[in-house]
A = this chain, B = another copy of it.
Amino acid sequence: MPQVGVVGYGTIGKRVADAVAAQPDMSVVGVAKTSPNFEAATARERGYDLYAANGRDAFARAGVPVDGEVEDLVVESDVVVDATPAGVGAAYRDLYEAHGVPAIYQGGEAADTAPVSFVARANYDEAVGADAVRVVSCNTTGLSRLFAVLDEAVGVERARVTLVRRGADPGQTGSGPIDDILPSTRVPSHHGPDVQTVLPHVEVDTMAVKVPATLMHVQTVNCTLASDTDADAIRDALAGESRVLSIPPWLGVDGAGKLKSFAADLGRPRGDLPENCVWAESVTVSDRECYLVQAIHQESIVVPENVDAIRAVTGAASAAESVARTDETLGLGGPLPLAALLAGEAGR
Contact = CB atoms under 8 A, between A and B. Distances in A.
A110 B181 CA distance: 29
Given A188-B284, A212-B211, A179 B218 contact: no
Interface string A160-177: 101010100000000001
Interface residues of A, number: 44
A309 to B, nearest CB: 29
A257 B215 contact: no
A104 interface: no
A302 to B, nearest CB: 20
Given A160-B222, A222-B160, A183 B279 contact: yes
A255 B181 contact: yes
A14 to B, nearest CB: 22
A281 interface: yes
Interface in A261-301: 279, 281-284, 289, 291-293, 295
A187 interface: yes
Contacts of A220: 162, 183, 207, 209
Contact of A291 (B182, B187, B222, B257): B187
A177 B257 contact: yes
B279 A180 contact: no
Nearest to A217: B181
A249 interface: yes
9 contacts: A158-B289, A164-B209, A181-B295, A183-B255, A187-B281, A187-B292, A205-B222, A207-B220, A212-B212
Given A181-B211, A183-B295, A185-B281, 13 more contacts: A162-B162, A179-B215, A181-B213, A181-B255, A181-B295, A183-B255, A183-B282, A183-B293, A187-B282, A187-B284, A187-B291, A205-B289, A212-B213
Interface of A: 158, 160, 162, 164, 166, 177, 179-188, 205, 207, 209, 211-218, 220, 222, 249, 254-257, 279, 281-284, 289, 291-293, 295
**Interchain residue pairs A-B with the least CB separation, the first 9:** A162-B162, A182-B255, A211-B211, A207-B220, A183-B293, A181-B218, A180-B257, A187-B282, A162-B220
